[in-house]
């Protein structure tokens, strides 16, 4: 056992970049997929709607830990080759993000009254343009608080990537704790770092929500 030093603190703080990388991958890859799912789910074509619904239900019915393990052990099975942990973990977070954001954005899109689609259609613009210029801006406003709320969940849940040995913030804490055995200090620091990142987002989400409810 050794004492807790500045370098231990730095180990924890630098692990933060992997946390942010995971969040970045999840949003960059999961976001577009979520939009696709939301459109499929709220559209009129039956097959895409069923496929999207099935995917959303399936992913939302599994623990994130399970998804991580599934892709971590599954990539070699699917591809026949070993891939770096970051790829498997990235895919798991992408799928997770797509499912939850997809559900949130579907809610936003479906909250827009049908008459808005009709009014847009009367302008003689394409279906995509109707969505892009009329529906999406309104749906975005409605779904923004929940989207920010999900971002907080995502940041917190990157801690689970530690189970496949990925050294992000929580895993760095475990490693430092194993060396120093100061669990109270170490985990308090880890918790505090998460808090400092998440609290402003939570507050923002709540402000947006209140503003939206006030505007109605």
Partner 1 sequence: MPDLNFRPIWRYQDQLVEGVLTTLLLTAVATIAGLVIGIAGAVLIRSGPKPVRWLLRIYIEIIRNTPVLVQIFIIYFVLPSFGLKMTPIQAACVALSIYFGAYAIEIIRSGLDSIPKSQIEAGMCLGITRMQVLRHVILPPALRNIYPSVTSQFVLLLLGTSIASQVSADELFHVAGFIDSRTYRSFEVYTLICLIYFGLVISFKLAFAALGRLAFRWPVRR
- Which stretches of the chain bind partner 1, using CB under 8 A? 57-58, 60-67, 69-70, 73-74, 76-78, 80, 152, 156-157, 159-160, 162-163, 170, 173-174, 177, 183-184, 187-188, 190-191, 194-195, 198-199, 202
CB of 62 to partner 1, least distance (A): 5
120/149 with CB nearer partner 1: 149
Quote the least distance from Cβ 50 to partner 1, whole Å.
Answer: 16
Q: In the bound complex, what is the minimum distance in angstroms from residue 128's beta carbon to partner 1?
A: 30
**Nearer CB in complex with partner 1: 125/208:** 208
- Give, as one character, the DSSP assignment of residue 162: G
Helix axes 183-215, 136-157, angle to 10 degrees: 170
- Identify whether the C-beta of residue 86 lies closer than 8 Å to the C-beta of residue 166: yes
In whole angstroms, how close is the CB of 186 to partner 1 at the nearest point? Answer: 9
Looking at beta carbons only, is 18 or 194 nearer to partner 1?
Answer: 194
Own/partner pairs, 159-164, CB within 8 angstroms, 24+ separation: 159/194, 160/64, 160/65, 160/68, 161/22, 161/68, 161/89, 161/93, 163/65, 163/68, 163/69, 164/68, 164/69, 164/72, 164/85, 164/88, 164/89
């Amino acid at each position: 056992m050794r004492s807790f030093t500045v370098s231990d603190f730095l180990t924890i703080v630098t692990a933060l970049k992997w946390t942010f990388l995971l969040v970045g991958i999840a949003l960059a890859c999961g976001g577009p997929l979520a939009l696709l799912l939301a459109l499929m789910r709220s559209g009129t074509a039956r097959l895409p709607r069923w496929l999207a619904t099935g995917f959303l239900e399936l992913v939302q019915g599994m623990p994130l830990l399970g998804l991580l393990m599934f892709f971590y052990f599954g990539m070699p099975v699917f591809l026949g080759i070993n891939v770096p942990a970051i790829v498997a973990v990235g895919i798991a977070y992408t799928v997770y993000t797509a499912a939850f954001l997809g559900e949130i954005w579907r809610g936003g899109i479906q909250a827009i009254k049908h008459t808005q689609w009709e009014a847009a259609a009367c302008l003689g613009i394409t279906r995509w343009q109707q969505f892009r210029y009329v529906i999406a801006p309104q749906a975005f406003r409605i779904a923004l608080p929940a989207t920010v709320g999900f971002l907080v969940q995502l940041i917190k849940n990157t801690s689970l990537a530690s189970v496949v040995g990925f050294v992000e913030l929580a895993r760095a804490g475990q490693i430092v704790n194993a060396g120093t055995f100061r669990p109270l200090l170490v985990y308090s620091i880890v918790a505090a770092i998460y808090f400092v990142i998440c609290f402003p987002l939570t507050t923002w989400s709540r402000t947006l929500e209140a503003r939206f409810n006030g505007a109605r």
